[in-house]
Amino acid sequence: MVSAMVWLFGITPEKNRPSRWDFILYRWLKRIVIAHPLRVIFTWVCLLGVFGFFGLHASRYLRSGGYVPANAPSQVASNLLAKEFGQPSNLGFVIRAKNGAITSKSSMSSASEILSKLRSNSSISAIESFIGPGGSGLVSSNKSEGLILVTVKGKTSMGYSATTASIVKEILPRGPNASYSDVSVIVGGFSQIGNEITNQTTSDLKKAETIAIPITFLLLLVAFGSVVAALLPAMLGLASIPMTLAVLYFLARTTHVSIFALNMTTALGLGLSIDYSLLVVSRFREELALGYDALEAIERTIETAGRTIFFSALTVAVSLAVLITFPVYFIRSFGFAGIAVVFLSALAALLLLPSVLVLLGERVNSLALFAKAINLEGESHAWRRLSTVVTSRPFRSGVPVVGVLLIAALPLMNIHFGTPDQNSLPINASARQFSKILATDFPLNENNFINVVTSTALSSSSDESYAKQLSEIAGVSQVLCQVGIYQNGTLIPGSNRANASSHGPMVNSNASLLDVSFAPNDLSPQAQSIVHKVQATLVPGGGRSYISGFTATLIDQNSSIARSLPLAIALISLGTFILLFLFTRSFVLPLKALVLDGLSIAASFGFVVWVFQEGHALRFLGFTPQPLPTQLLVLMFCLSFGLSIDYEVFLLSRIKEGHDQGLDTISAVINGMSHTGGIITTAALILSVTFFSFGSSSLSFLQVFGVGTGVAVVLDATLVRGILVPAIIRVMGDANWWNPTAKFTDRSR
């Protein structure tokens, strides 16, 4: 990169300078920006055009799904099930008569039309229907509904399926929940759940953007006081986000990348653009107000704000990079997207934005909204007063805040982990209605179940014995096997005929299949306990059992995340500590940052449990309380941690600057707070608007992510950064700057 700069901008390094690592970065950056601002802008625009072209095509190569490792036991079971017995049905249609019984002549005519369309579709490998001989097992208990179950080829995991969408559109051109002349149709099943979640996510994110973007721009106008300055964050976002999409494009051509990484790119790219723009523009204005011309002001800005951005980007990137250590590509994708957008946002803030400011000069304050709208001095008197109060009464200020955060974290003790399912959808969603109808109206086709595949074929007597044992497990409502249906250890009379008519073969020369249904919600701890007990039940003859299904997948998902989490926490803590140590030259301040970040994240997670798992905001957000999505909690943790450290770097940079200039610790804290408190709270407020806009979503897991991350950002920027940090620094005094390696680093200089 250095050689490229030399060739492109004609720069050679100055000689006889101290060999400091930061000299190369900041000295060369200043010379590039000051000497060649137009060339920097032109080069960036050219690169944006080239990479933006690839970025436009990124979405077609991104994937849905990726929630569990490919080698997880539930995935192995699914593959074995598909190999030995064919894929289980993953798309269903409830045909409901508008008048009378579903078996009436008029209703059967419409239902037969639907069945004919399904049978002629080459993308369907198997169909089970209530129409025809032996279909009584697929008729509802009140006789008004019939069930058609189909297997879509190639559909083995939850996520968007174009094939499923095509089938549903053929049957219901006007969308799910549509009607024929004599019947209404409700579509559901595993495949349809994935499609509806993906479609609703896309729709809700667009709605969130329409809410967040205008509010964000208004807040930027208020923060900057100038239309020209307020447009700079948007420019920075447009300069970095398309190039990040290009990175995702190239990654997706070589590995699996989740389509939801697009949302991370947009939200984080805009957020960092705002953060870095606030920091750079505020410092640039401050230097102009001190009497420096534009070139001198940008030089001093790069030396100070530029160094802060560099370390901030590194710490945020480290926080997101640990996502790559997880074995599921849904989580890994956010790591790839996060690293790319952080790097490009920082590069744009260090090269492109200063180049634009050099050309703008004093005109950065143009188009002021009203008189005295622009604070050129960069100091907030309100934050100076607050920091003065906090540092004069550190215990009286800090202890209540710690108490509030600890109380907020208490619900975290009762957290339960889940994954998005049909209950994450709106109440009127077709897939959710289908699941409810299946559970209430079709007692022999319960919605919550697991597939148990044995490694050897069981004889009728062994199969009967095994099914009998499984049906006696507490919570199991029935077990379907080759012999029939067992409930509480007893074979239901006549169930063998219902079984034969409504289910495919359940035994072959290599394996046997049993379907275990249960009453508890498939995400509940009770359902997971049932799966563990099924796993512990010995297969007659010494064979092995393989379990697939939603609950088994959830168990594997949580297990894979639990195995990776200790390493991720260790890496994020160690990486952050090292970077903050290099930034502050202090051994104590990084430790303080890690502890306070952990406290604020615990408080925000406790709030999420209280609201979304325990259901204390149903009236406002309209969701169904359920276990929290494990994957999104991991993402929330890393993102919240990175943003917290981002604000920590902003604050510590100004405190350390004052301390290095000879101020005592208290004066350095007050000076740092007065210059960065407004920037941090403004950046956090604007970024939280983006996250809180997800609260308008109809999907509960998007609400969890948006509201949870927004609360984490607000808590950190106000209670933690505004009160706890200055209070603790005040209490620790000169010990804040303890550096056991000082004598070695000083000698190396």
The reported pLDDT for the residue numbered 394 is 92
Residue 554 Cα to chain centre, angstroms: 17
- Per DSSP, helices labelled H in 628-724 are 630-660, 665-692, 700-715
The reported pLDDT for the residue numbered 743 is 59
Longest dimension (CA), the chain: 96
At 303, list the tokens.
């030396």
The reported pLDDT for the residue numbered 295 is 86
Q: What distance in Å separates the CA atoms of residue 690 and residue 741, rounded to the nearest whole number?
A: 42
The reported pLDDT for the residue numbered 19 is 38
Residue 548 Cα to chain centre, angstroms: 25
Among 155, 141, 147, 109, which Cα is nearest to 127's?
Answer: 147
Where b means 16+ CB within 10 Å and e means fewer, 176-193 reads beeebebbbbbbbbbbbb
At 104, list the tokens.
């009436």
The third-level CATH classification (topology) of the domain covering 90-196 is Alpha-Beta Plaits (3.30.70)
- Helix axis angle, 725-732 to 588-608, nearest 10°: 150
Q: What distance in Å separates the CA atoms of residue 217 and residue 210, rounded to the nearest whole number?
A: 12
Q: Residue 556 carries which side chain, given as an amino acid letter?
A: D
Among 525, 563, 533, 528, which Cα is nearest to 549's?
Answer: 528
- Three-state SS for 401? helix
User: Percent helix, strand and coil across the chain, each rounded to 5?
Assistant: 65, 10, 25
Among 706, 692, 696, 705, which Cα is nearest to 622's?
Answer: 696
The reported pLDDT for the residue numbered 223 is 81
Can 18-69+225-372 and 90-196 be said to share one CATH topology? no
The Cα-based distances of 357 to 285, 378, 517 in angstroms read 10, 17, 65
Give one DSSP letter per residue of 82-119, joined into a string.
HHHH-PPP-EEEEEEESSS-TTSHHHHHHHHHHHHHHH
The reported pLDDT for the residue numbered 626 is 83
**Which residue stretches of the chain have pLDDT < 70?**
1-26, 87, 89, 134, 154-160, 175-179, 370-378, 443-447, 494-504, 742-749
CATH architecture for the domain at 382-418+557-741: Up-down Bundle (1.20)
At 186, list the tokens.
């409700």
CA dihedral angle for residue 577, residue 578, residue 580, residue 582, rounded to 10 degrees? 160
The conformational region for residue 543 under phi > 0 = left, psi -120 to 50 = alpha, else beta, is: beta
The domain segmentation of the chain, as residue ranges, is 18-69+225-372, 90-196, 382-418+557-741, 431-522
Among 602, 596, 625, which Cα is nearest to 725's?
Answer: 596
Residue 713, C-beta contacts closer than 8 angstroms, at least 6 positions apart: 640, 643, 684, 687, 688, 691
Does CATH place domain 18-69+225-372 in 3.90.1150.10?
no
Question: Measured on CA atoms in the order 660, 661, 667, 673, is the torsion positive or negative?
Answer: negative
Q: What distance in Å separates the CA atoms of residue 237 and residue 241, rounded to the nearest whole number?
A: 6
